[in-house]
Chain A
Amino acid sequence: AQTVTQSQPEMSVQEAETVTLSCTYDTSESNYYLFWYKQPPSRQMILVIRQEAYKQQNATENRFSVNFQKAAKSFSLKISDSQLGDTAMYFCAFASYGKLTFGQGTILTVHP
């Protein structure tokens, strides 16, 4: 079974600053995806970024980037130039065969 751990229940950052959200996971599988999802108050799950485990290059998506350390089973999310609209709950997730295992979530608040 897979486990995903987010050790930061809450984080805050000033607008335009950079923040990093942590995530570690445990699995015995070799092929899988890792995701970061954003869940605003509407509770719609919004895909932020994904990383295929077989790719060594860290994924980037505009202001969002990850630091994927496969050996350490670590998958952190860096948000650059934080914006007020980034305020939300963020979930790290492990995926294999479409089935997702989520971390506990991190509530991120961006302050003006």
Chain B
Amino acid sequence: GAVVSQHPSWVICKSGTSVKIECRSLDFQATTMFWYRQFPKQSLMLMATSNEGSKATYEQGVEKDKFLINHASLTLSTLTVTSAHPEDSSFYICSATSGGSGPLDEAFFGQGTRLTVV
């Protein structure tokens, strides 16, 4: 299967600072990438959908000014958590799809990033 690499795997940052998480498709061109958030022992909740070269589409309730998403190339999308606070501590996971199969596009997951804000 296709490989998606997410970096870093874990990060600790101070409250008020920003942190960037990268999601790379290593062996395919990802026309669409998705960002999910998961709190402990809970489900994955979609935060936003990003298409290469265009603005991300955010789900209801997700602050677009706080969670900046950039999908500047077909192999890289970044999620920047700005002015992070302890309540932003969570597990963030990206997935990527190459497109072309319409409804049956398959998404491939990165390994996730554990963010702790202290």
Task: Judge whether B112 and A99 touch: CB under 8 Å.
Answer: no
- Identify which of B42-50, B67-75, B80-88 touches chain A: B42-50
Complexed CA–CA distance, A94 and B35 (Å): 16
Question: What mask results when residues 43 to 81 of chain A are scored 1 for a CB within 8 Å of chain B, else 0?
Answer: 111010010100000000000000000000000000000
Interface residue? A96 (CB, 8 A): yes
List chain B residues, Cβ under 8 A from A45: 44, 93, 109, 112
Complexed CA–CA distance, A103 and B38 (Å): 12
Question: What mask results when residues 73 to 112 of chain A are scored 1 for a CB within 8 Å of chain B, else 0?
Answer: 0000000000000000101000111111111110100000
Question: What mask results when residues 16 to 38 of chain B are scored 1 for a CB within 8 Å of chain A, else 0?
Answer: 00000000000000001010101
List chain B residues, Cβ under 8 A from A50: 106
Task: Judge whether A91 and B44 touch: CB under 8 Å.
Answer: yes
B binding-site residues for A, Cβ under 8 Å: 1, 32, 34, 36, 38, 41-46, 49, 91, 93, 95-97, 99, 102-107, 109, 111-112, 114
Q: How many residues of A contact B (CB 8 A)?
A: 24
Pairs of residues from A and B, 3 with the lowest C-beta to C-beta distance, nearest first: A98-B97, A31-B103, A98-B105
Task: Judge whether B43 and A44 touch: CB under 8 Å.
Answer: no
List chain B residues, Cβ under 8 A from A100: 34, 36, 44, 46, 95, 107
Q: List 17 A-B contacts (CB under 8 A).
A: A29-B103, A31-B103, A33-B106, A43-B38, A43-B91, A43-B93, A44-B109, A45-B44, A45-B109, A45-B112, A89-B41, A91-B44, A96-B103, A97-B97, A99-B34, A100-B107, A101-B46
Query: What residue of chain A has the Cβ atom nearest to residue B1's Cβ?
Result: A47
Q: Which of A33, A98, A105 interacts with B42 by CB under 8 Å?
A: A105
Query: What residue of chain A has the Cβ atom nearest to residue B43's Cβ?
Result: A102
If A50-B106, A97-B97, A98-B107 are given as contacts, then 9 extra A-B residue pairs at C-beta distance below 8 Å, sorted by A number, are A32-B104, A43-B93, A43-B114, A44-B111, A45-B93, A97-B32, A98-B105, A99-B107, A104-B43
